[in-house]
Amino acid sequence: MKSWRLWPQRLVGQVTLVLMLAVALEFIGSSILFENSRLYPDRENQIRRVAEQLAAATEILESSSPGERGVRAAVISNRATHLTWSVLPTLVDGGRAVENDYREELFDAEPSLRDRDLRVHADIDRALPRDTRLKVAVKLRDGSWMALSTKIRVAPWAVLLSGFGSAFTLGLGVIIAAALVLRNLSRPLRALAEAADKVGKGGQVRIAESGAGDLKLVAKAFNAMQDRIAGLLQARTEALAAVGHDLRTPLARLRLRAGFVTDPDAREALEADVDEMTSMLDSLLAYLGGQEDPEPRRRTDLAAIAMTVVDDAADAERPATYAGLDHLPVLARPLSVKRAISNIVENALHYGGDAALTLTRDGDTAVLAIEDNGPGIPEAELTHVLQPFHRLDDARARNTGGLGLGLTIVQQILQRENGTLVLKNRPRGGLRVEIRLPAL
């Protein structure tokens, strides 16, 4: 299509051209059909024609000498009507109702035939469209016979129907063809809509800059817009990560200097604040740098990691327990997985007061459940808490540290490890968080 110079560049032009072609095609097709249906005159006309031919031929033959009659008959025959002359009758009248009807119709059409001896024989074709082979013999004044044989095409309904039918088929064909071409033309538009939808959901899609001229412009603008947005996001992320990173040094210094504060209460409070800020920075950096984690995937024992997290909590005298399989290997980044489990256990201990871990295997999937006996999360919030920086009012009101990144990071990690995260409220209160990873 591209190399065709007459093909319009803009979508409007292309659609108009397709419509024009469709209309032209329909016009040509129906003209042909119409011409075709005109080849079939109606029955009445055909009989009148036969009657007129009979009358004319009778007169011609009667005015010719017997010796010429055979040749004359042949000469006035034509493609549709065959005439012969003979001294003795060659035709026996059929005598049936059809034949009598034909005779009456011939008489009606040409009253001069009424006083003649007319023999009629009609044979209806067995095959469609059931034409009638009509033979008529007329006795001339001198007792010799002229015979005419022709075909009465009696298919007005069949022809009409097939005319309508073929007009309908033609119209349908043209519409389908035009629809296919238009569909093709609008393909870039659909691709654009799909891409816009994906981009709206946070993906990045490069669309082909092809199709009609104006669509090509839209595709170009769309791709450029994506590049700008991605660049902007990248710049912001880098700035945030740099600030986060640089804040660690003064924080480390602050922690050292806190050691010089003599009042033990003030020193402890100061150290707790610094720890909180450090962990907030850590999670911020984990969130921002999540995609670039250089740690390789390897065979990792999920049970061992879960037990380590529980032991760490127990060492800090916090109520965490572990039950279930002693070993369950998965292919994953161990540090990432440990961070994910810690984030959930941290939440369970913090918001629920306790954490019970259970590791089971469900077919090919390792299922680590972390349950607590706290208030759980309102059903409507279950998906929102996965959004970055989203915290429930309750958590915010407590004024405890935390940025609302814990579960976002878990989600991010599990996506990279081909795992899933399931959050549900337990029937008897508390939250149940499941980490599902493909088991080895």
Q: Which of 121, 338, 391, 432 binds ligand ATP (CB under 6 A)?
A: 391
Q: Please report whether residue 404 would count as binding ligand ATP according to CB under 6 A.
A: yes
The span from the CA of 233 to the CA of 181, in Å, is 40
**Amino acid letter, 360:** T
Number of residues that bind Mg ion (CB under 5 A): 2
Q: Which of 57, 328, 356, 405 binds ligand ATP (CB under 6 A)?
A: 405
Number of residues that bind ligand ATP (CB under 6 A): 24
For the record, the structure tokens of 183 come out as 């569909």
Q: Please report whether residue 347 would count as binding Mg ion according to CB under 5 A.
A: yes
Q: Which residue's CB is nearer to ligand ATP, number 58 or number 283?
A: 283
The span from the CA of 410 to the CA of 346, in Å, is 12
Nearest to 436 by CA among 302, 320, 318: 302
For the bound state, the minimum distance from the C-beta of residue 404 to Mg ion, rounded and expressed in Å, comes to 8
Tell me, residue by residue from 49 to 68, as one string, x for binding to ligand ATP by CB under 6 A and - for no binding.
Answer: --------------------
The span from the CA of 349 to the CA of 342, in Å, is 10
Query: DSSP for 267-330?
Result: HHHHHHHHHHHHHHHHHHHHHHHGGG--PPPEEEEHHHHHHHHHHHHHHTT--EEEEE-S--EE
Residue 309 vs residues 19, 240, 275, 316: alpha-carbon distances, Å? 70, 29, 19, 11
For the bound state, the minimum distance from the C-beta of residue 276 to ligand ATP, rounded and expressed in Å, comes to 9
Residue 16 vs residues 112, 187, 361, 421: alpha-carbon distances, Å? 61, 17, 62, 52
For the bound state, the minimum distance from the C-beta of residue 280 to Mg ion, rounded and expressed in Å, comes to 11
Place of tokens 């691709």: 191
Q: Which does 8 bind (CB under 5 to 8 A by kind): Mg ion, ligand ATP, none?
A: none
Which residues inside 282-311 make contact with ligand ATP, applying CB under 6 A?
283
Q: Please report whether residue 347 would count as binding ligand ATP according to CB under 6 A.
A: yes
Q: Which does 437 bind (CB under 5 to 8 A by kind): Mg ion, ligand ATP, none?
A: none
Give the CA-trace dihedral at 320, 381, 278, 411, to 10 degrees: 80
Which among 170-178, 326-334, 346-354, 357-365 is the span making contact with ligand ATP, rule CB under 6 A?
346-354
Which residues inside 375-414 make contact with Mg ion, applying CB under 5 A?
406
Q: Which residue is nearest to Mg ion (CB)?
A: 406
Q: Please report whether residue 290 would count as binding Mg ion according to CB under 5 A.
A: no
Give the pairing of strands 420-425 and 365-371.
unpaired
Q: Which of 300, 352, 421, 435 binds ligand ATP (CB under 6 A)?
A: 352
Residues forming contacts to ligand ATP in the complex (CB under 6 A) are 283, 343, 347-348, 351-352, 372, 374-377, 385, 391-392, 394-395, 402-408, 431
